[in-house]
Amino acid sequence: MKEQNKGQEISTEQAIMAAAEAEFLEKGYAATKTTGIARRAGVTHAMLHYYYRTKENLFEMVFRQKAQKLIGSFSVVVDGDLPFLEKVKTAIETHFDFIAANPQLPMFILNEIVRDPQRLEICKEMIGPVLPGVMARIQHEIDREAAQGTIRRVEAHQLLLDIVSLNVFFFSAQPLVQILAASIGKDFSEFLEARKRENVQVIMDRLTV
Amino acid sequence: MKEQNKGQEISTEQAIMAAAEAEFLEKGYAATKTTGIARRAGVTHAMLHYYYRTKENLFEMVFRQKAQKLIGSFSVVVDGDLPFLEKVKTAIETHFDFIAANPQLPMFILNEIVRDPQRLEICKEMIGPVLPGVMARIQHEIDREAAQGTIRRVEAHQLLLDIVSLNVFFFSAQPLVQILAASIGKDFSEFLEARKRENVQVIMDRLTV
DNA sequence: ATTTGTACTAACAGTTTTGTTAAACTTTTT
DNA sequence: AAAAAGTTTAACAAAACTGTTAGTACAAAT
């Protein structure tokens, strides 16, 4: 299937990549088998090696892409004209929705980082150049607002951790959260909206005087 | 090494179990090899099969024990005479310290649950009988305090999720948190104490009017 | 002293998994 | 149309991994 690929049928190469993403996200590196990826893509596993040479190689491509995606989700751009608390609220909700749309993503990255220091290096390279600038900008805005007395003065990195903790954990622990939701007679999707409001409220309470 | 095991030298069986706990916690089920466990325990891998028959069997023992330990950490018993907010504060700090002492534990359990539904069932059996009672007790206390006007009225399950999210994420994302800490010139252990205070403060702000 | 049971070793067997290769087939280029 | 380049298949090879087994050593029981 080469250049009669005129329409939008996906190529073997793409099918393998898509299957690899799904498998790695679901199972992690160790539990994913190249044969499993090939089966999911509907091709022989020799094709996987033909296009991507090794499992490690294919994984690293997936990992880089996913790490970039996750890291990118933190630098949310919010309309600068809104009041500060409105901006924070929007940022939390946007981030929450992103994780909701990619619930496996944080655990996948965290896991692979913990299990292989080399993967942490990849993330460091991605985060390193951006982080100080982002943090400084947030802190600057916080300090300006605090000086006006509209919010409490908090550390930017603590605030960031608060938000990410609240948003990520809910989805990372989804199976357990479902048990909790069931015990109060709600299903997960009902619970989801309530949780988004709660996360926003927690941060609002932290910031307002 | 049978009955000349008079002192407190650990038996082969115990050595294997200890090595298995360490390996499974570090690497997860899939990445852990029985040969690796045996090597760590300083025995031949045949001994592992001799005492525990299969990898799956050994894993399940470890999983059950660790799940029990984690679940147990949620039902913290706090001196009933303290004011409500003091009790909450103590509970958060105790939970934080527990996770700090067992930083791999939450991710280990969450991961294995996500990757194998059968393991979720094990947790359900452990949580199921306890959860409703615990939640009801907490909610009852919240409602009583709220009626007195000393705190805001919140949902018990949301409050629980808030606390666990804040405490667990910090350690699950430890390698990334270290990058964050380094970027503001602190090392992890310094950051740890500040983070504990922040987590308490977030919940206090959520509860106080 | 002999039997019995437990602990242990070393070698092996079966399976799974990753990766390769030679040959066939298809498409593109000349 | 022929050559070249790219794609696919099937079979194979090597390594890793889980689990077994036959036999050994040694302590405890009879």
- pLDDT value at residue B7: 47
pTM given for the model: 0.93
- Rounded CA-CA distance B82/B77 in Å is 12
Kindly report the average pLDDT of chain B as a whole number. Answer: 93
| pLDDT single digits (tens) B130-160 | 899 999 999 999 999 999 999 999 999 999 9
pLDDT > 70: what percent of chain B? Answer: 96
Distances (CA, A) of B131 to A88, B63, B111, B136: 34, 20, 21, 8
- pLDDT value at residue B9: 63
Whose tokens are 């602190």? That residue is: B186
Query: Once rounded to an integer, what is the mean pLDDT over residues A44-51?
Result: 96
- pLDDT value at residue A8: 55
CB contact under 8 A, B26 and A115: yes
- For chain B, the first-to-last Cα distance in angstroms comes to 64
Closest approach of chain B CAs to the CA of A8, in angstroms?
33
Query: Band of the pLDDT at B81, cuts 50, 70, 90?
Result: confident
Residues of chain A positioned with their CB less than 8 A from the CB of B161: 169-170, 177, 180, 195, 198
Alpha helices in chain B (DSSP H): 12-31, 34-41, 45-52, 55-72, 84-101, 105-115, 117-127, 131-148, 156-172, 174-183, 188-207
Residues 105-124 of B with CB under 8 A from A: 107, 110-111, 113-115, 120, 123-124
- Rounded CA-CA distance A195/A155 in Å is 24
Closest approach of chain A CAs to the CA of B191, in angstroms?
10
Kindly report the average pLDDT of chain A as a whole number. Answer: 93
> Which residue spans within A66-148 are E strands per DSSP?
none
